[in-house]
Amino acid sequence: MDLLKSLIIVSEKAANIARLCRRNQHLFNLLIQKKSSKEANPRFVDDFKTLADVLIQELVKNQIGKQFPELQRSIKGEENNIFSNQLGETIQVEVKESEEETAALLQVVLNEDARAAQLLAREVHRDVSLDEVTTQKAPAEDFIINLQNSGVWIDPIDSTAEYINGIEEVSNTGISISGLKCVTVLIGVFDKTTGLPLIGVVNQPFVTQDGDQWKGECFWGGPAESSLPPAPAVTKTVCVSSSENPAPISKLQEKGYNITEASGAGYKILAVVKGLADAYVLSKDSTFKWDTCGPQAILRSLGGDVVVFSEAVRKQVVSVKYDEGSGSCNCGGIIAYRKSAVLEDVIECLT
């Protein structure tokens, strides 16, 4: 069994669920419904988007855990799969052996909405092949890694806010400021000894639109190989969050960098991966291990990395690292880059 191919396929299944919830009117209505505080409803899920997130995460955990039992206990994600209702009951969302069993479980969680439960369960259990995945380069050989010594971080949907009600807005650099293009599915495998990411898959479910059908694209990378072409030209563009502090922004601008605000931590790293931006600079603690593990692995396969911002401004280059036991925050902020000359220049600007 080939881990990279399995990760790509399961990321496509995740993307299919994300697309289904936007395209199917019944599911879309659930996705955008506003919670009413007056509603005395005993159902488990009053926030459908959380269920979509949890379901995708459980799908990835289930499929990868089944195919790679050595990894099973080390697959972690952003979401918690236990829901409780107003009657004090709890239920654990998981992928069952059969479509019928998964649908039956989802029906309870969804307050007896059999239609929604069946639609989701069908997509969860549908077989997907590698040929269905759009990627610039199909993976050839698997990466040899020690599964016993590896862990996995999943962000089932990054940029949830854009997923629910984003308005498409594109900058003149070709980078999406907001909207569905900023949504990504992020899966990363890391080495428990070194703490460094090894293999990453970033699936962008919404790239091109044809009527109500969206097509996506999948990006991958691992030790010394990735789906991306050779290094693109320097852009003099740096991506930042819309909530970034003014100080780092003006320092970068003073040295001639164009600043582009974009939504989604995963999407901003993807912009660096694709060469649309030279770097992504974040001075705050607002990203988590599941946001960076997958895309950082791709950057590392291209000669770049994600490093700790607070260390970089003290002229220390420290890679963001992963460890099952420690917290999930990327404390101290991050800088993502593809070319080391860019990192040096950005550090120079910021110090």
Annotated binding site for Mg(2+): 78, 155, 157-158, 291
Options 56, 157, 335, 347, the catalytic residue: 157
Tokens describing residue 331: 């404390």
Restricted to residues 209-248, the positions that interact with ligand 2IP (CB under 6 A) are 241-243
Cβ atoms within 10 Å, residue 281 = 28
Options 155, 162, 217, 345, the catalytic residue: 155
Helix residue ranges, H only, the chain:
3-23, 25-32, 48-67, 99-109, 114-125, 160-165, 246-254, 265-273, 289-301, 309-312, 340-350
3-state secondary structure of 285: coil
Cβ atoms within 10 Å, residue 191 = 17
Number of residues that bind ligand 2IP (CB under 6 A): 14
CB 18 within 8 A of CB 163: yes
Binding positions are 78, 155, 157-158, 291
Q: Binding ligand 2IP by CB under 6 A: which of 74, 102, 150, 159?
A: 159
Q: Binding ligand 2IP by CB under 6 A: which of 263, 283, 292, 301?
A: 263
* Residue 160 in contact with ligand 2IP, rule: CB under 6 A: yes
Q: Please report, for residues 77, 98, 251, 332, 339, the alpha-carbon distance to residue 220 in angstroms, rounded to integers and kept in the order given.
A: 19, 30, 33, 26, 18
In the complex with ligand 2IP, which residue's Cβ is closer, 67 or 160?
160
Residues 6+ apart with CB under 8 A from 41: 86, 111
Residue of 292, 299, 304 whose CA lies nearest to 339: 304
CB 16 within 8 A of CB 133: no
* Residue 123 in contact with ligand 2IP, rule: CB under 6 A: no
Q: Is 345 a catalytic residue?
A: no
Q: Is 160 a catalytic residue?
A: yes
Q: Is 47 a catalytic residue?
A: no
For the chain, the C-alpha Rg in angstroms (whole number) is 20
Tokens describing residue 204: 């962008």
Taken in order 274, 275, 277, 280, the sign of the CA dihedral is positive
3-state secondary structure of 313: coil
Do β-strands 334-337 and 305-308 pair in parallel, antiparallel, or remain unpaired?
Answer: antiparallel
Q: Is 155 a catalytic residue?
A: yes
* Residue 162 in contact with Ca ion, rule: CB under 5 A: no
Q: Binding Ca ion by CB under 5 A: which of 12, 58, 158, 244?
A: 158
* Residue 148 in contact with ligand 2IP, rule: CB under 6 A: no
* Residue 264 in contact with ligand 2IP, rule: CB under 6 A: yes
* Residue 217 in contact with Ca ion, rule: CB under 5 A: no
Restricted to residues 38-97, the positions that interact with Ca ion (CB under 5 A) are 78
- Stretch touching ligand 2IP by CB under 6 A, among 19-27, 168-176, 198-206, 261-269: 261-269
Options 12, 58, 78, 305, the catalytic residue: 78
Q: Is 127 a catalytic residue?
A: no
* Residue 291 in contact with Ca ion, rule: CB under 5 A: yes
Paired with 223 in beta bridges are none
- Stretch touching Ca ion by CB under 5 A, among 5-13, 36-44, 148-156, 228-236: 148-156
Applying CB under 5 A, the residues found at the interface with Ca ion are: 78, 155, 157-158, 291
Active site residues: 53, 78, 155, 157-158, 160, 291
Applying CB under 6 A, the residues found at the interface with ligand 2IP are: 155, 158-160, 241-243, 263-265, 286-288, 291
